Amino acid sequence: MTVQTLDITEATRPLAEYAQKADLGPILIMADGQPLAVIIGAETIDLEALSLSTNPQFLSLIEKSRKRQKKEGGISSDERWHF
């Protein structure tokens, strides 16, 4: 799947047109060379994953887990199957 990139200054068409094109692949909207927004076709993404990826509480939990793993270590991929 190819990601289209579009500068915000060039995004002059109605939102509906961009939304229809999002079925072909995500459209990354840029502002001053930085990512600003993404238009993604609803059929191409898991809505639960999208919800979690933007949930501040879930993101905080992931960050705490990463810090703990870095500090205390973790288990290998092979070891996880022995639990």
pLDDT tens for each residue of 28-59: 999 999 999 999 998 888 889 989 999 999 99
pLDDT, residue 17, reads: 95
pLDDT, residue 77, reads: 80
Secondary structure of residue 71 in the 3-state scheme: helix
Q: Which fold has domain 1-40?
A: YefM-like fold (3.40.1620)
CA–CA dist 44, 75 (Å, integer):
33
**One-letter amino acid of 37:** A
What DSSP designation does 8 have?
Answer: G
Categorize the per-residue pLDDT at 82 as very low, low, confident or very high, splitting at 50, 70 and 90: confident
- 18-50 in b/e form (b: 16+ CB < 10 A) is eeeebeeebbbbbeeeeeeeebbbeeeeeeeee
pLDDT, residue 83, reads: 65
